[in-house]
Every structure is written in structure tokens, then in C-alpha cells.
Copies of this chain bind each other. A is one copy, B any other.
């Protein structure tokens, strides 16, 4: 096998390292702006040298405006005795994200409409946001809510959200690894979710670890890693990088990469981009378990923005569990125990291999196109004729036959039903013997 990025990964130790990072980042309260995002990006910068970019509130970005910066120190609902019945210190999910500051006393009858729980999962806290509507609220378990209801409508509570919503900045992290080509491969992960492990500390850990690994390896494409708040972060980056965006030839958003579900790849809106074919190839040939590839739809994560008609960047999405399709999604059950070192490592391997394929896919021209060249006299073919043919020799015949200017290595791998890695190794061998030249 060739020296591929995936082959060079020590997945066992990297899995443990990524899980430790997830555990470290879990307690931080992230949102689309604020110190939680900065703290998270700084931790990721220890893994790979990403740069933090600060964009002022009020900056117009495409059809949007960078919002005010939100920070929160503490929040609670306390009963008459002063006991916190809902306590932000226990989980950052307890406060509806972007809640305006509040400091008041309310009877339960009035507080009730501000409380969000999940009757179907009475021990889980839901995750709720209200970025663009000035309001506030708390999330809690159904059991907590039941207990409050048992105290009656008239019970009075102290309600405090010690947050600030002030002019500040939106922060994102970016890392560019230059390659031989100006053409870029983008890996993008949203950084805005609070204490949720799979969505998306898993994506952050995998992407940052991949960035570090690939920074040490040769590559053809320039690689770009983006860690930005969902929607507004991608929109901000696109607004500031229209020119650069047009160089992105392949991309992936990554999310939910640590859970136990089989892989799902969501295609680009075009549905037949190289990254779509590379992901399908890798998942079909290199994961023993079930997996699925699904069509694009304009919901989910930042693939929505990249695939919008004004950009049409071919960005797919790699995940295990599908957003909105598993019960733990966007609840406190998505905690560090919900993700495992093994799954994070497997995801890192698959992602590395998809990048290997899109980076290594290219067209060659057969320099001896009339008939088959005599491989035997070049030591490329077994001497004794029998019934079957070794795999690498068969790959050479495929590469020779299809290297007519119309087919790239991935086309050939698909047609031959062979690993991309084997086909690339065959092409390397033929090129070394002067039978093939890159186009």
C-alpha cells in the first residue's frame, strides 16, 4: 500500500487524545459569540496552530449583521429559601442561549412559559437557542419541572441570568496549510454549541487533529480548516473571503463524529462532486459496517451556506449520527460518555482517507496508448502465464486503458471496483517507468 495519510495515523493514541480534548472542552458555555468560543479556539490552537479572527458586532455580512457579543457568568432560578432549583453551574444547557440579562422575582405561573423540558426523556435537559429574538429562558429536566409544578402556581422564584449582550466581536479560528496548488480543500466545523460532546466537540477534535497530522505531510491541494459558529460564522467567513472561497474545490463539514452510529455522508447540492464520489468510495470500501450516503437538503450545518446558489462550493458533510435523528441530539445526554475514543479515531481515519482521495485524484495520459505496452520487459508483469492476475498488475492494466485524458484515478478505481490506494500505487509505478504522465 502507498504511504497514505490514513496509513500514517496512530489511531489508538490519537483516539484517547481526542477524547481527552472533548472532556476538557465539555463544560465550557459556547454560543455564536463570546468568551466560551475564544476559550475553545485557544484550546484547539494547542493542537494545530489556528489563527483567531475577531469580527466586530454590527459588521454587515451578506444578508446578515454580526450580532452583539453574548457572555454569561451565572444564572439560576432559586426558591424562596434561596436554594437554586435550576443552576447554570450544573450545566451550560440550563440557559437558553443568547438569553438577555434578567434579574427578577416571578410566580411559577409566569415563569412557566420560560421553561423548556423534554417529557419523553424526563432526565435530560434540552438545548435551546434564541439568537435573533431578544428573550430569555431556562431548560431543565422534566423531573425538575414536575417538582416545580408540585409546589404550585403561586410559588415565588428568584430568576437571575447574569449575562451581557454588548457590542463586541464574533470569533472564529482558521488554519491554512499551503499545498502545490491554489485549489483548496475545506474542512469546516461549527464551534457554537455549549456542553454537547458529539455535536460538535467531536467534530472540533477530529478536525484539529487531522490538521496537525496533515501539516506534516506532502499534499497537492492547499488545506483550509475553519472552526466557526454555525450559520453566522460561515456567513461571516464567506462575506470576508469571496475570492478565496472560489478556490475551494472540495469540502466537508464535520459533526457528530464520536457516537456509535454508522457513518452518514450527506452529498453536495450537485450530488456528483469529487468529494461526493470520494466519500462514497471510502465509506463503501473501507468501513466494514453499514453506512449511508444521503442527498443534500438545505438544512443541517454550514454545508447550507457553502452550497448556496451564490457560492455553490462543493461541500458535503460527514457525520455518524444524523442531526435530529437520534434522541440524544441537542440534549444533555450528548455528553462525553456518549462519544468514545474508538469512534473518534475511526472517524479521523475515514476523514483522512477522503482527503487523501480528493487530494490524490488526478488524470494521467497513457504514453504508450496503442495496445497494451509490454509490461513484462519492464519487470512489471509476472513471467509465467496462468489463469489469474495479481491485483496490482490488474490495476496497471486498468490505469493504462482508462488514462485517455477523460478519466482520473477515482474514475478508474470506481470502474475497476478497486481501492483508490491500489490504483494510485499502480499509476505511480507506471509513471516511474515512463508509461504515464500527469495531465
- Interfacial residues, chain A to chain B (CB-CB below 8 A): 62-64, 96-97, 126, 128-133, 135, 231, 234-235, 238-239, 269, 295, 297-299, 304-305, 307-312, 324, 329-330, 366, 368-374, 376-377, 383-389, 394, 397-398, 400-404, 415-416
Judging by beta carbons under 8 Å apart, are B372 and A231 in contact?
yes
Most chain B CB inside 10 Å of its own CB: which residue of A371, A373, A386: A371
Residue of B nearest to A368 (CB): B63
Judging by beta carbons under 8 Å apart, are A329 and B387 in contact?
yes
A401–B372 Cα distance when bound, in Å, is 45
Specify which of B132, B239, B269, B401 is in contact with A376 (CB 8 Å cutoff).
B132
Q: List chain B residues, Cβ under 8 A from A370.
A: 62-63, 238-239, 308, 310-311
Specify which of B299, B310, B311, B388 is in contact with A389 (CB 8 Å cutoff).
B299
Judging by beta carbons under 8 Å apart, are B394 and A299 in contact?
yes
Q: List chain B residues, Cβ under 8 A from A401.
A: 269, 298, 304, 307-309
Q: List chain B residues, Cβ under 8 A from A324.
A: 387-388
Judging by beta carbons under 8 Å apart, are B386 and A128 in contact?
yes
Judging by beta carbons under 8 Å apart, are B366 and A309 in contact?
yes
Residue of B nearest to A302 (CB): B371
A44–B235 Cα distance when bound, in Å, is 60
A234–B371 Cα distance when bound, in Å, is 9
Specify which of B62, B295, B371, B388 is in contact with A235 (CB 8 Å cutoff).
B371
A433–B299 Cα distance when bound, in Å, is 21
Interface pairs (21), CB distance under 8 Å: A62-B368, A63-B368, A63-B370, A96-B384, A128-B384, A128-B385, A133-B376, A133-B383, A133-B384, A235-B371, A238-B371, A295-B415, A297-B398, A299-B389, A304-B372, A305-B372, A308-B372, A310-B369, A310-B371, A311-B370, A330-B386
Judging by beta carbons under 8 Å apart, are A129 and B385 in contact?
yes
Judging by beta carbons under 8 Å apart, are B371 and A404 in contact?
no
Specify which of B133, B234, B384 is in contact with A130 (CB 8 Å cutoff).
B384
Q: List chain B residues, Cβ under 8 A from A372.
A: 63, 231, 235, 298, 304-305, 308
Specify which of B63, B299, B374, B398 is in contact with A373 (CB 8 Å cutoff).
B63
A64–B368 Cα distance when bound, in Å, is 11
Contact A132 to B371, CB < 8 A, known contacts A298-B398, A309-B403, A387-B330: no
A390 to chain B, nearest CB (A): 11
Judging by beta carbons under 8 Å apart, are A371 and B297 in contact?
no
Judging by beta carbons under 8 Å apart, are A416 and B297 in contact?
yes
Residue of B nearest to A234 (CB): B371
Residue of B nearest to A393 (CB): B299
A308–B368 Cα distance when bound, in Å, is 10
A337 to chain B, nearest CB (A): 21
A415–B294 Cα distance when bound, in Å, is 12
A73–B324 Cα distance when bound, in Å, is 73
Judging by beta carbons under 8 Å apart, are B304 and A397 in contact?
yes
- Minimum-distance CB pairs A-B, first 6: A310-B370, A310-B369, A133-B383, A129-B385, A309-B404, A298-B397
